[in-house]
């Protein structure tokens, strides 16, 4: 299922993993490979996943990716209620426009499986022509979120590139 390959070749995508413990090498990140595989299945060329500590390093990583003008940036982690869960706070200032329906859909789909999904505080929106979305830090939460994006990711990219087909 490609759909995300405009005339000038595959679209680029970046992945930012917010995990202080994984960034320190205490444990192996499990969500980055899931997201990268999903992106490749959808026709994206991915930059190497960036595993950074929670908080402002996440914002710095997103800004670094935005300088490369990717079509998509997906973050994982840092969306809960722990004091160092700050991914939403560092993502929001980077967004030109929010897309609240994406997160509503993700929380609705996740809550059908676990009530804890309603605690995710992530954002989805655009920064220029880049779609940015914050996914939870668990592999199951990531897979649930990607399933919500499956039917709309190509349309999001098309719209951001100026195609107005509906």
CA distances to 7, 87, 138, 164 from 146, in Å = 25, 18, 12, 23
Give CA–CA dist 162/114, Å, rounded.
37
Q: What are phi and psi of 116, to 5 degrees?
A: -65, -20
51-66 residue pLDDT tens: 999 999 999 999 999 9
Residues of the chain above pLDDT 70, percent: 93
21-33 residue pLDDT tens: 999 999 999 999 9
Assess whether pLDDT exceeds 60 at residue 1.
no
Kindly state the average pLDDT of the residues 79-95: 96
112-138 residue pLDDT tens: 999 999 999 999 999 999 999 999 999
Give 24's DSSP letter. Answer: T
Give CA–CA dist 80/118, Å, rounded.
10
Give CA–CA dist 90/29, Å, rounded.
21
Give CA–CA dist 12/57, Å, rounded.
21
C-alpha 58: how far from chain center: 12
Give CA–CA dist 92/88, Å, rounded.
6
Alpha helical stretches, state H, 4-138? 20-23, 31-41, 56-66, 87-91, 100-111
Which tokens in the block code for residue 16?
């930012």
pTM of the model: 0.93
């Amino acid at each position: 299922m490609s759909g995300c390959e405009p005339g000038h070749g595959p679209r680029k995508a970046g992945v930012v993993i917010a995990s202080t413990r994984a960034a320190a090498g205490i444990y192996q990140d499990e969500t980055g490979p899931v997201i990268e595989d999903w992106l490749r299945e959808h026709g994206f060329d991915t930059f190497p996943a960036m595993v950074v500590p929670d908080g402002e390093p996440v914002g710095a990583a997103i800004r670094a990716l935005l300088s490369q003008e990717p079509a998509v940036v997906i973050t994982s982690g840092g969306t809960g209620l722990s004091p160092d869960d700050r991914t939403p706070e560092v993502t929001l200032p980077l967004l030109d426009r929010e897309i609240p329906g994406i997160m509503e859909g993700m929380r609705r789909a996740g809550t059908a499986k676990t009530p804890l999904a309603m605690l995710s505080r992530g954002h989805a929106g655009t920064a220029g022509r880049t779609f940015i979305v914050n996914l939870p830090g668990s592999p199951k939460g990531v897979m649930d979120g990607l399933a919500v994006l499956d039917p709309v990711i190509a349309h999001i990219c098309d719209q951001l590139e100026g195609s107005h087909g509906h």
